[in-house]
Amino acid sequence: MGDFYFPYLPSSPLLFPSSSHESDDSSNQNISTSSGSEASSGQNISTASSHASNGLINQNPSIPLGTVAIPSLEDIPTGFGAIPSLEVISLNKLSSNLEQLLIDCRRSCYYGDAEIVVEGRPIPIHRYILAVRSRFFDELFTQEKGSLEEGGKPRYFMSDLLPHGKVGYEAFLVFLSYLYTGKLKPSPLDVSTCVADVCAHDACRPAINFTVELLYASSIFQVPELVSLFQRRLANFVNRLMWMCNPICWVAFHCQLSQLVAKCMDRIARSDLDSISIEKDLPYQVSKDIKFLRKELMSDDEQKIEAVDPLHEMVIKRIHEALDLDDIERVKLLLTDSDVTLNDANALHYAAAHCSPKIVYEVLGLGLADVNLRNSQGYTGLHTAALRREPSVIVSLLATGACVLDLTLDGRSAVSICRRLTRPKDYHAITEKGQKLIKTGYA
C-alpha cells in the first residue's frame, strides 16, 4: 500500500495587526463615496461580518504590514481542499486569548498593570500591549507615569489625554478591543442607535456620534487603519445627510482629515443652515471658509438679494451677545433703541439652541416673541429646543403655548426629533430616575 497524502492547499500569509509605529499615516487617503460599501481597492480593512478585518489576505506585496486583522474560524472555508493552516488557527486562538484579558474581570484586574478612567469608570489595561500597538501610548507610558491608585497601579484619565472633544466609555472599549484582538467589534446598540421606532439606525445621530468618537480615538491614539475606515463611514453620512454634517466636520478638522473637511464644507455651504449655527458649532477657520464658499456659489442676483442693512445686522448680533451673557436688561435696551424685534433676531430660537434655561425663561417672560415663529429652516423654537434636548427649555416653551404638533419642512415633530437624538442608554436612565421619583413622592 502506497503512502497516503493529505490534500495540501498553500495558504496565503496572514498578517497580524501590529503597532502603528510601522504604518504610514493614512488619514488623508482618498475617500470612497460609493453607497452601500466602505471597501475600496486601496482599503486595508475588510468590514465583513461587522469586523474591521475578517478575511484571508491575498498574496499582494503592496499591502502594508500590520493593517489586516485575523479572520474568524467561521469565515475560513471548509471542505475538501480548504484546510485552514496551523498559522490561521493559531493566530485566531491568540486573538481570542488576548480578548479574555479584557472581558474577564478577574484576569483584567489581576494581570492589568494600569488603568484608564473613562467617564468615571476605570478600565484595566496592559501597558505593554497598548505600547506596541500605538505610538501614542508608547510615548505616553514612557514619559508619564500617571497618578497612582491605592493598589499602586498607574491611573490615566481620558479627559487628560484628549485635546478636544470626548470619547465615551463604550466607544473606548470597542477601540481597545481592536488593539488587543485585531478585530473590530460591532457597536453596542444601547449607545449607537436611537429610540425612534421607525429608524433604521444607520444614519441617526447616536450612530453618527459613536462613529465620530471612534474616529477621534483612532486619530488621537494613532491607529491609521481605523482612521481610514471610520473616515469612509462618515463620508457616506455626509453624502446622505446635511443636518448631521457639523459634528463630522468638527472631528475631521481636529483630526486633520482635509478631504473629509472639504466634503463637509461643500455640503454645508450648499445647504440652508444658518450662519449662526455654523459659527457656534464649527471652528472659526472652517466657518470662515464656508462663508467664502457660499459667496462663490451665489450668483450676482442672489448676492444682491442676500444684501442686508449692516446696522440691522449689528443690532441682531448685539442681541445675541446679550443673550449669551444672560443679560436680559441689555436685550430690553437694544429693543428700545432700535426698530429690531425679538422675532427679527430669532431671539427665541437662538436662546433655545445656545443659552441657559434661565435666559430662555426670561425671554419668554417679556411676551414679545412669537413662540411658534419659524426660522429660515422652517423650525419653531420647540424644534430647536428638541435638537438640544434640554428638558427645562422644552418645558418652558410648552408652558407658554408652543405647539407640539407643528412639523418641520421635512415632516418631523419635536417628539420625533428628540427620539432620533436619544440613545436607549440615556432613555432608560431617565425613565428609571423618573420612576424612582414617583415612588418617593418627589415627582
Name the residue with higher pLDDT: 217 or 146.
217
Residue 38, pLDDT > 50, answer no
130-142: per-residue pLDDT in tens? Answer: 999 999 999 999 9
Of 358, 354, 356, 360, nearest in space to 342 by CA: 360
Name the residue with higher pLDDT: 231 or 37.
231
| Strand (E) or helix (H) holding 375 | none
Residue 37, pLDDT > 70, answer no
**pLDDT score for 432:** 77
What average pLDDT score do residues 385-412 get?
94
What average pLDDT score do residues 78-82 get?
55
Q: How far, in Å, CA of 144 to CA of 146, rounded?
A: 6
Residue 400, pLDDT > 90, answer yes
329-381: per-residue pLDDT in tens? Answer: 999 999 999 999 999 999 999 999 999 999 999 999 999 999 999 998 899 99
**pLDDT score for 385:** 96
Residue 158, pLDDT > 50, answer yes
Residue 81, pLDDT > 70, answer no
Q: How far, in Å, CA of 175 to CA of 225, rounded?
A: 12
**pLDDT score for 99:** 84
Residue 168 makes CB contacts below 8 A (sequence gap 6+) with 118, 119, 191, 210, 213
Residue labelled with grid coordinates 486573538: 95
Residue 204 makes CB contacts below 8 A (sequence gap 6+) with 193, 194, 196, 420, 421
Residue 300, pLDDT > 50, answer yes
**pLDDT score for 143:** 87
What average pLDDT score do residues 26-35 get?
45
What average pLDDT score do residues 145-170 get?
85
* Domain spans, the chain: 310-427
190-225: per-residue pLDDT in tens? Answer: 999 999 988 888 888 999 999 999 999 999 999 999
Confidence of residue 284 (pLDDT cuts 50, 70, 90): very high
Residue 9, pLDDT > 60, answer no
Q: How far, in Å, CA of 171 to CA of 125, rounded?
A: 15
What average pLDDT score do residues 141-146 get?
82
Name the residue with higher pLDDT: 5 or 184.
184
Of 38, 389, 343, nearest in space to 206 by CA: 389
CA atoms within 13 A on the CB side of 195: 16
Name the residue with higher pLDDT: 13 or 267.
267
- Give the chain's mean pLDDT: 81
Residue 265, pLDDT > 50, answer yes
Mean pLDDT is lowest, of 55-59, 92-96, 174-178, 413-417, for 55-59
Q: What percent of the chain has pLDDT over 90?
A: 55
**Which 8-state DSSP code applies to residue 50?**
G
What average pLDDT score do residues 104-123 get?
82
**pLDDT score for 73:** 47
| Crossing angle for the helix pair 357-366 and 347-354, to the nearest 10 degrees | 160
Choose from 27-31, 163-167, 432-436 the range with maximum mean pLDDT: 163-167
Residue 76, pLDDT > 70, answer no
Confidence of residue 149 (pLDDT cuts 50, 70, 90): low
What average pLDDT score do residues 296-313 get?
69
Confidence of residue 228 (pLDDT cuts 50, 70, 90): very high
| Residues paired with 124 in a beta bridge | 115
Report whether 257 contacts 27 (CB < 8 A). yes
**pLDDT score for 32:** 44
Buried b / exposed e along 10-49 (16+ C-beta atoms within 10 A): ebeebbebebbeebeebbbbebbeeeeebeeeebbbbbee
Quote the cell numbers at residue 218.
Answer: 483612532
Q: Please give the class, per CATH, of domain 310-427.
A: mainly alpha
Residue 258, pLDDT > 60, answer yes
Q: What Cα–Cα distance (Å) separates residue 5 from each residue in 2, 8, 256?
A: 10, 8, 56
